[in-house]
A and B are shown apart, each in its own frame.
Chain A
Amino acid sequence: MTGDAGAEAMKGNAPAQLEVRGVTKAFPGCLANDDISFRIEPGEIHALLGENGAGKSTLVKIIYGVLQADQGDLIWEGKPVTIHSPHDAREMGVGLVFQHFSLFETMTVLENIALAMNDVRDMAVLRQKVIEVEKTYGLPLDPDRHVYTLSVGERQRIEIVRCLLQNPKLLILDEPTSVLTPQEVEKLFETLRRLADEGCAILYISHKLHEVKALCQRATVLRGGKVVGGCDPREETAKSMAEMMIGQKLTAPDRGKQREFGDVRLDVTDLSLISDEQFGTHLKNINLKVRGGEIMGVAGVAGNGQNELFQALAGETEHEAAPDSIKIDGKSVAHFGPRRRRRLGAAFVPEERNGHGAVPDMSLSENGFLTAFRRMALAARGLIREVPTRSFADNIIKTFDVRTTGAGAEAGSLSGGNLQKFIVGREILQDPGVLVISQPTWGVDAGAASAIHQALLDLAAKGTAVLVISQDLDEIFAICDSVVVMSEGKMSKPRPMADVSIEEIGLLMGGLHDLEGNATPANDMEETGGRVGQA
């Protein structure tokens, strides 16, 4: 709020590192930023909170010079500035770690860094500097490796190193921890605290409110393009901040009463798979059993075989898996394609929304038709039944509160979170017997995430076996009954959620898999499955 910022300005004599004053930006059909004002002091770690579509990304793009504000001023160290391009922003001392990495896969780490520097005269000098920064901040990276060979955590390090090389005075991080293990997050926080101690201002954007609480000293909350308040995250709870963001009371997912589990509906036995992707992960002896009514979480850092597992379960990879390695409701489906598996009552929600989960150039109702035409009887004699198809899409939009202009809108025009709600809704409303869902709430705001979580819990309560592949441990702890961890294509034995700690999972994710993995002969697995049942 303007008054808030004004009061702050009066008590501090030194100019703010950056003051945003009355910034307004309109896009056709929406006011993305409406008179936004706040200030960031040097050495401060400032959180910017808000749901998807609250205007955070637009604001960041204005500060980084990707977009220009329609109205309002940016005051940098007390002087009004106009930032025409990212080049200008970097020149001034603004660094940005993107949510979706802006990296070039086929190039080396050093080349990627050089591309984001304003002037590079000599690659040898740059290499030296990179190595220095890596040492100083404890961010090990081999400058000559190609990006496609790196893990997500390492890729993020490139983004951070390339910001640090410019000696930033303001570092902006957009959802930086969504792909990191808890240990990696801790490491990142150390680096950030150290930078702040050196006087660098940090603007931190995250949906993970307990992280904001642990790291940030001040927060500005956006809703619908406006500043709706500020707070000290250290004195708030994650829940109170989430409520400030969505503007209403937040209800924790209702897990219902102690659930009864039925028969095994998804049964994976000794599934091994050689990935034909050059940089894919081979699956090694995967075993898991999900029973009706159970939600099982698959934790793990991205790139440890989760994509391969999803594709194998969904029937997307043609492979030579043993005939009985995958069973749905007792029927062996290892050699079935996705449609035959869907016919048996399975449903799948992939991680990638545009292009994998939905066809971006097609309307929502057409996208709804694509996976649901059989179960929802949307086709007759080879023709699309327009009315039921449209009402199915309308039903998804209504039930899952998808913010869109209507069922005729192109899928690609929706924001990530809204499209995710649509895709999840499309599968859940088909009432599947087995649901495999990958990263259900990645990049989705708190309000929508809790709606998706509730929908998954309700679905399980009706007897569906749900397998949730997620990197978000909070999510796994919030909704799952049991958990397995994937690391380098191997899977830990299932553990009931009740007797496993977040630290243990973190260690398993980091690859300390063999500690227990080897100690578990294959036939032990049955037993474990039984134990989970009693939990």
Chain B
Amino acid sequence: MEWLVPFILTVITASTPLLLAASGELVTEKSGVLNLGVEGMMLVGAIAGFAVTASSGSAILGILAAVVAGVLMSLIFAFLTLSLMANQVATGLALTIFGIGFSALVGSKFVGFAIDPLPALSIPGISAIPVIGPILFGQDFLVYLSIAVVIGVGWFLAKSRAGLVLKAVGDSHHSAHAIGYSVIKIRYLATMFGGAMAGLGGAYLSLSYTPMWAENMTAGRGWIALALVVFATWRPGRLLAGAYMFGLISVMQLHAQGAGIHVPSQFMSMLPYLATVIVLVIISSDRAKIRLNAPACIGQAFRPAQ
């Protein structure tokens, strides 16, 4: 059983960036905006976090820089799609391509740098309890933050008035506008939250998961986060479960190889997408499930009628 604790620890670290980025994207999509630029925002967050941490020596500053970088990226997207009404799908793809290139450009100076990973929580006595100690009380603070964020998002959407307004804007932007809500402003805020969380997810990768910078180090996690939102049918509870499931799948290949079981790595890396396709087929067979949770206006530009 001694493999269990390290196994669970790797699952948690693999799941955390997915959970952060997907929680942000869930809020963005609930407001009716489809931002396919998650991968790009994560990469820019990762390099911003790494560069600032490496230069200043402060991980806190690095994390803040990652959040700001994610927000700036999402603002580019929001300006193009919400203010100029560009197509959201095309703009999101462009944002990802831009993020890959831009992060590689900025990051070229930082390849090979080493930084200290984020410190793990350490409570004397409690963190030393076998099994439970390292899993529950021995993580760095971004792990706890990711759980707090998804719970917070769940509470925000289910209980708060602002959350109700956000869902209303995603459900019918014309109705929301007629009642007097500022559709564009609310969507800007939701998109910026998505950017901040993607940046944070990227920072987790470059500051904790593998404390270094490598070109294109997100390796498709932004896309998995996007798939995860649909997989979860836009529900935070399922998002949490899904993130850990996808995290589990992605580390299984390493452990399978370690145990001498040969599964092609390509098969393992396609599993999250395969699972999403299967879930999509299942939920689209029952329109009620989609209809009650999917934001009806997703991806549509809003032009107030005269």
The answer to the question of A105 belonging to the interface, with a C-beta cut-off of 8 Å to chain B, is yes
* Bound form: Cα–Cα A101–B66 in Å: 43
- Knowing A27-B306, A65-B180, A115-B165, say if A102 contacts B175 (CB, 8 Å): yes
Given the interface contacts A27-B306, A107-B168, does A114 sit within 8 Å of B175 by beta carbon? Answer: no
The residue in chain B whose Cβ has the minimal distance to the Cβ of A116 is: B179
Contacts of A146 in B (CB 8 A): 292
Question: Which residues of the other chain, B, contact A120 by a CB distance below 8 angstroms?
Answer: 161
Evaluate contact between B306 and A277: CB separation under 8 angstroms.
no
Q: What's the minimum C-beta distance from A423 to chain B, rounded to whole angstroms?
A: 20
Within the complex, the shortest CB–CB distance from A58 to chain B, in Å, comes to 8
Contact A278 B296 (CB under 8 A): no
User: CA A114 – CA B179 in complex, angstroms?
Assistant: 11
Contact A87 B180 (CB under 8 A): yes
- Which of A27, A58, A102, A116 is B174 in contact with, Cβ under 8 Å? A102
A278/B161 in contact, CB under 8 A: no
How would you classify the secondary structure of chain B's contact residues: helix, strand, loop or mixed?
Answer: helix
Q: CB within 8 Å of B: which of A102-156?
A: 102-107, 111, 114-116, 120, 146, 148
A233 within 8 A of B: no
- Cα A114 to Cα B288 in complex, Å, equals 24
Residue-wise, chain B 288-302 has the 8 Å CB interface mask toward A (1 for contact) of 100111001000000
B178 located at the interface, meaning its Cβ lies under 8 Å from any Cβ of chain A in the complex: yes
Given known contacts A103-B175, A105-B296, A106-B296, A278 and B291 CB-to-CB distance under 8 angstroms: yes
Q: Which residue from A98, A106, A277 sits with its C-beta under 8 Å from B178?
A: A98
Tell me whether A85 is interfacial, beta carbon within 8 Å.
yes
Q: In the bound complex, what is the Cα–Cα distance between A65 and B176 (angstroms)?
A: 14
Chain B contacts for A105, CB-based, 8 A: 171-172, 291, 296
Asked if residues A85 and B171 are in contact (CB atoms below 8 Å), the reply is no
Q: Is A225 in contact with chain B by the CB < 8 A criterion?
A: no
Least Cβ–Cβ distance between B147 and chain A, in angstroms: 27
Cross-chain contact of A104 among B161, B175, B288, B306 (Cβ < 8 A): B175
CB of B278 within 8 Å of the partner chain = no
Report the bound CA distance from A67 to B178 in whole Å. 11
The reply to whether B168 and A104 form a contact with Cβ atoms under 8 Å apart is yes
A338 interface residue, CB < 8 Å from B?
no
B181: which A residues are within 8 A, CB to CB? Answer: 115
B2 to chain A, nearest CB (A): 49
In angstroms, Cα B161 to Cα A120, docked, is: 8
Q: Which residues of B contact A111 (CB under 8 A)?
A: 164
User: How far apart are the CA atoms of A85 and B287 in the complex, in Å?
Assistant: 36
Query: Could you tell me the distance in whole angstroms from the C-beta of B207 to the nearest C-beta in chain A?
Result: 39
Q: CA of A116 to CA of B167 in the docked complex: distance in angstroms?
A: 14
Question: Is A86 an interface residue when CB atoms closer than 8 A count as contact?
Answer: yes
Could you tell me if A278 and B287 are in contact, using CB atoms closer than 8 angstroms? yes
Evaluate contact between B175 and A85: CB separation under 8 angstroms.
no
Contact with B along A272-297 (1 / 0, CB 8 A): 00000110000000000000000000
**Taking each of B174, B176, B178, which has the highest tally of chain A beta carbons within 10 Å of its own beta carbon?**
B178
B: number of interface residues (CB 8 Å): 22
Q: Which residues of A contact B180 (CB under 8 A)?
A: 65-66, 85-87, 90
**A429 to chain B: closest CB distance in Å?**
30
Residue of B nearest to A120 (CB): B161
Q: A115-B179, A120-B161 are in contact. Are A104 and B291 (CB under 8 A)?
A: no
A-B contacts counted at CB < 8 A amount to 61
A148 engages B168 (CB within 8 Å): no
Closest residue of chain A to B172 (Cβ to Cβ) is A104
Give the distance to chain A from B306, nearest Cβ to Cβ, in Å.
Answer: 6
Of B171, B286, B287, B288, which is within 8 A of A107 by CB? B171
Are B178 and A115 within 8 A (Cβ)?
no
- A102:B179 contact, CB within 8 angstroms: yes
Tell me the minimal C-beta distance from B205 to chain A in angstroms. 35
Min CB gap A165→B, angstroms? 13
Output the nearest chain B residue to A146 by Cβ-Cβ distance: B292
B149 CB to nearest A CB, Å: 24
Question: Is A277 within 8 A of B161, CB to CB?
Answer: no
A486 to B99, CA, bound (A): 57
CB distance from A498 to the nearest CB of B (A): 43
Give the shortest distance, in Å, between A25 (CB) and chain B (any CB). 10
Bound together, the chains give a CA A101 to CA B175 distance in angstroms of 7
Report Cα–Cα, A320/B204, bound state, in Å: 55
Please, how many angstroms separate the alpha-carbon atoms of A105 and B292 in the complex?
Answer: 9
Give the chain B neighbours of A114 by CB distance below 8 A. 161, 164
CB neighbours (8 Å) of B161 from chain A are: 114, 120
Among A66, A90, A115, A120, max chain B CB count under 10 A is at A115
Whether A106 lies near B175 (C-beta < 8 A) is: no
Q: In the assembled complex, which residues on chain B have CB atoms less than 8 Å from the CB atom of A103?
A: 172, 175
* Contact, CB under 8 Å: B179 / A106: no
Q: Is the CB of A104 within 8 A of B178?
A: no
A98 contacts across to B, CB distance below 8 A: 178
Q: Chain B nearest CB: distance from A361 CB in Å?
A: 12
CA distance A85 to B197 in the complex (A): 33
Complex CA gap A103/B291 in Å reads 15
In whole angstroms, what is the CA distance A104 to B178 when docked? Answer: 12
* Shortest Cβ distance from residue B180 to the other chain A in the assembled complex, whole angstroms: 3
What distance in Å separates the Cβ of A281 from its nearest Cβ neighbour in chain B?
Answer: 15
Which interface residue of A65, A86, A106, A120 has the most chain B CB atoms within 10 A?
A106
Contact A115 B168 (CB under 8 A): yes
**Chain A proximity of B30: nearest CB distance (Å):** 11
Q: Which residues of A are found within 8 Å of B164, using beta-carbon distances?
A: 107, 111, 114-115
Per-residue B-contact encoding for A240-282, CB less than 8 Å = 1, 0 else: 0000000000000000000000000000000000000110000
Q: Which residues of B lie under 8 Å from residue A58 when comparing CB positions?
A: 306
Q: Can you name the residue of chain B whose Cβ is closest to the Cβ of A276?
A: B287
Contacts A27-B306, A58-B306, A66-B180 aside, 17 further interface pairs with beta carbons under 8 A come to A86-B180, A102-B172, A102-B174, A104-B171, A104-B172, A105-B291, A105-B296, A106-B167, A106-B171, A106-B296, A107-B164, A107-B168, A111-B164, A114-B161, A277-B287, A278-B286, A278-B291
Binding site for A on B (CB under 8 A): 161, 164-165, 167-168, 171-172, 174-176, 178-181, 286-288, 291-293, 296, 306
- What are 12 A-B interface contacts by the 8 Å CB criterion? A66-B178, A98-B178, A100-B174, A103-B172, A105-B171, A105-B172, A105-B291, A106-B167, A106-B291, A114-B161, A115-B168, A278-B287
Q: Top 7 nearest A-B pairs by Cβ distance? A: A86-B180, A102-B175, A102-B178, A104-B171, A278-B288, A278-B287, A116-B179
